[in-house]
Structure 1
Amino acid sequence: MAVLKPGGQALTSSAPVGVGLRHEHYSAALMQPSSSIDFVEIHAENFFADGGAICRLSDQIRDSYPVSIHGTAMGLGSAQGINPDYLKAFANLVKRIDPVLISDHACFTWGKLGNSPVHAGDLLPLKFDRATLDVLCDNIDRVQQLLGRQLLIENIVTYIPVAQSQFTETEFLSRVVEQTQCGLLVDLNNILVNYHNFSRENPLVQARQWLSELPAQAVKELHLAGSSPAAPGKLVVDDHGQPVSDDCWALFHNAHERFPEAATLIEWDNNLPQWPQLLAEAEQARRHMDMMVLEIAK
């Protein structure tokens, strides 16, 4: 039963909650659209087809849910620039879907082999210096001008120690926001994984400090996920193959407190659960948010 404040209004969070929609869940999500989530996220590259079954599927998803488009291959930090054919396909998808949010990563992916563009097939880390900042900002400006929409930029996991840079990651992202007026998508699990892999201090404590250094008004979305456990001394891989971890839920408490209007998304890409279990993770996120509203109201 909802707790009411004077005047009868329910004390609940108004921030939207969604889930990543992956292939195994298409049928369940479309046969019985769920009212327990506010939006679904699709990976852009899976829906670039101009026609046929994929185009019809994207139309069905759009007609059933508000949609967030999440790019995984744009390579905004690539000095080579973004492949024009890729960017055209991305823009066509945005026009067709009219998403509620559009996002990609602070990384590089594109280079050249001879005279041909090549894609790395992964999200490669950036050096946080002025030259890279200029490249990233120029590419973000190009994309935002083409789309006529704000782009959200996501922090990534890296599996090698980042070289000495002029800026910390949060300083770098803050400068990107200042120069491009983009938004930020903060992946909470990515922060925790990086600190777990490359720091001897408590990852949760450090992640909370990381959040405190961002411009609060720029954070428009939060990603929550879980990773498969690693053997002692081994790197944790951000495989999105488990329920949201306890540390990630704890960090979410801090993140929602600092960014109360940001949308929240549950990411689960491997070892996928049944559709109801994924929805249950989203409902747990909503309960966390509502409990925080009640705490503030006391």
Structure 2
Amino acid sequence: MSMTPAAGIGFKPPHFDAAMRSRASGLWFEVHPENYMVDGGPRLAMLDALAERFPLSLHGVSLSLAAADLPDATQLRRLRVLIDRIRPVLVSEHMAWSAWGGRYIPDLLPFPRTHEALEHLVRNVTHTQERLGRRISLENPSHYLRLEGHDWSETDFLAELARRSGCGLLLDINNVYVSAHNLGHDPLDYLDAFPLPAVTEIHLAGHAADDNDATLLIDSHDSAVADSVWSLYDHVLLRGGARPTLIERDGDVPSFATLLTERDRAHALLDVERVAA
């Protein structure tokens, strides 16, 4: 399955009525599946109605694919039920871990990009795709401190993961900007090395300075997309071509109309006559 390059919005239940009334060209929505993996009730009914009108994408946060263990079997079964129910166009997760040795940590945690870590990820992603009956895409992480012990650059690691497992990649450009700022490298160098042919989706979001250290940027998703991130997005499109693009907003959520205006800016930049095929 594929999606025509268009811009979408991370769906929030308070926006349901406005979303259903929208006639914006190419509009699509993304949700975290963990909020909808239930047997019934109003939340699932809302998602069913949305799926009848718009293309949907599922963006998971809990499979812990970078852990040493396989993803939780019950979680995969519940996710497969939701996928079969709403038939999303895209399914994605994070290149991170959040569970280890039976303990769950509600965060998306980094890891040294070693050969062993790559083997674990390839196994876990392949297992997940087999259980879901779908190709998934993995998102590049945000970084807040420098880890030692890497065998691979992040872009080469992602490229090799995609090659070995057959997965796609989700390029979060705000994550690229935040990580480059925090670790002291050039975001353009990172993007120029990124394996863009494997990218199935792009994320754009806002960031903020840390409350305790103003020199540290946090991938906060609580503000509008920064001009610096818009500039990087334009660079990616002109280099690699149009991809389905999502505006993420998870904190200090504005009106649907405000988000739609930001979405429309991304949608206009996806003009197929302007960017590479």
TM-score by length of 2: 0.93
**Deviation digits for residues 142-169 of structure 1, max 9, x if unmatched?**
1111122110110111222222300010
**Identical-pair percentage:** 31
Provide the rounded CA distance (Å) in 1 between the counterparts of 2:104 and 2:19.
32
Q: Secondary structure at the match of 1:122?
A: strand
- The within-5 A match list for 1:126-137 is 126-137=111-122
Q: Retained in 2: the 8 A contact 1:158–1:194?
A: yes
The alpha-carbon distance between structure 1 residues 295 and 100, as it changes in their structure 2 partners (threshold 3 A), is closer
Displacement after TM superposition at 1:119 (Å): 1.6
1:276 matched to 2:276? The reply is: no
Partner of 2:240: 259
Runs (4+) of structure 1 moved beyond 6 Å?
A: none
Partner of 1:171: 156
Aligned length: 273
**Deviation digits for residues 109-152 of structure 1, max 9, x if unmatched?**
1112xxxx332100001210110001111010011111221101
Provide the rounded CA distance (Å) in 1 between the counterparts of 2:103 and 2:48.
30
Displacement after TM superposition at 1:50 (Å): 1.2
Provide the rounded CA distance (Å) in 2 between the counterparts of 1:280 and 1:70.
22
Structure 2 unaligned segments of length 5 or more: list them: none
Q: Given the alignment, which residue of 15, 18, 38 partners 1:49?
A: 38
The alpha-carbon distance between structure 1 residues 294 and 190, as it changes in their structure 2 partners (threshold 3 A), is closer
Provide the rounded CA distance (Å) in 2 between the counterparts of 1:118 and 1:88.
20
Structure 1 unaligned segments of length 5 or more: list them: 1-13
Provide the rounded CA distance (Å) in 1 between the counterparts of 2:104 and 2:158.
23
Displacement after TM superposition at 1:37 (Å): 4.0
Q: Secondary structure at the match of 1:175?
A: helix
Q: Secondary structure at the match of 1:293?
A: coil
1:216 matched to 2:216? The reply is: no
Task: Output the amino acid matched with 1:100.
Answer: V
Q: Retained in 1: the 8 A contact 2:137–2:168?
A: yes
Structure index of larger Rg? 1
Q: Given the alignment, which residue of 168, 181, 184 partners 1:196?
A: 181
The alpha-carbon distance between structure 1 residues 133 and 87, as it changes in their structure 2 partners (threshold 3 A), is same
TM-score by length of 1: 0.86
1:235 matched to 2:216? The reply is: yes
**Alignment RMSD, CA only?**
1.9
Displacement after TM superposition at 1:215 (Å): 2.3
Q: Secondary structure at the match of 2:123?
A: helix
Q: Secondary structure at the match of 1:265?
A: strand
Q: Given the alignment, which residue of 4, 13, 18 partners 1:23?
A: 13
